[in-house]
Structure 1
Amino acid sequence: MATAAVTPEVVEAPKSSQPVNLTDSAIAKVKEIMATQDPIPAGLRIGVVGGGCSGFQYSMSFENAAGMMDKVVRFEDLKVFVDATSAMYLNGCTVDYVETLEAAGFKFENPQVKSTCGCGSSFSV
């Protein structure tokens, strides 16, 4: 008996129903960084992992393929992979790329966050 292959869910939905949103600045920066990788990755994984002083931290990494249980969100030709557990914590989150005189980096604006640590690298919900 043959079994059907499970494929990741691809989200082509309005921004309000996506597990995470990226600003145009974040999309451009991710694409710029991806273009320097060899081989060029299939997409960007955004997740939430345990750790830090407040309990959770955001994670970003490049991946060569989506996992079986991932949601795949498309931003233009950029694929973002989000696992089901992280999607619960990222719902409504917007990722931006910000450059100031002091620093440059990705900034997460998450309406579910109740508090952050003093260093700003971890959060609690």
Structure 2
Amino acid sequence: MTIQLTEKAIEVAKAALLETTSEEGEYLRISVHGGGCAGFKYGLSFSADTDENDLVMDYDGLKVVTDVFTATQISGTVIDYEETLSGSGFRFNNPTAKRTCGCGSSFG
């Protein structure tokens, strides 16, 4: 299972993590759950702890956690942070997605 985060994504996530309280978490949790217009929706949140079956990765000091289901759905994905005229946010480039939503936040 491989998930890549660009330098910009790591930088922005670390900065956001510094603004959270310890109760909100020390891990960046990546998740996939049903929803969105294409079937599945990506999720990013901060987590204070991990579950027994979670996978924990380190990206230049940023601790990232994900569950096994999510890991299988986003293996090979590159997560970037983009700033455009229409807004800014994390972008998921998932090579295994058969279809994606125009907003880039859901896939199928």
What 5-or-longer segments of structure 2 have no aligned partner? none
Q: Greater shift after overlay, 49-58 or 114-123? A: 114-123
Shift of 1:116: 1.6
1:25 aligns with 8
CA distance in 1, matches of 2:40, 2:69: 12
CA distance in 2, matches of 1:30, 1:89: 21
1:49 aligns with 33
| Higher normalized strand content (fraction of residues) | 2
CA distance in 2, matches of 1:85, 1:35: 28
How well do the aligned residues superpose, as a CA RMSD in angstroms?
1.4
Per-residue displacement from partner, 1:10-44 (whole Å, max 9, x unpaired)?
Answer: xxxxxxx53x1111000000000011111262210
What 5-or-longer segments of structure 1 have no aligned partner? 1-16
Q: Residues 90 and 61 (structure 1 numbering): CA distance in 2 closer, same or farther, change over 3 Å?
A: same
TM-score by length of 2: 0.91
Per-residue displacement from partner, 1:71-107 (whole Å, max 9, x unpaired)?
Answer: 1011011110010001100100010001122211000
Q: Greater shift after overlay, 83-92 or 38-47? A: 38-47
1:64 aligns with 48
The one-letter amino acid paired with 2:16 is I
1:74 aligns with 58
2:18 aligns with 35
1:5 aligns with none
Identity of aligned residues (%): 42
SS at match of 2:12: helix
Mapping 1:77-116, distance limit 5 Å:
77-116=61-100
SS at match of 2:8: helix
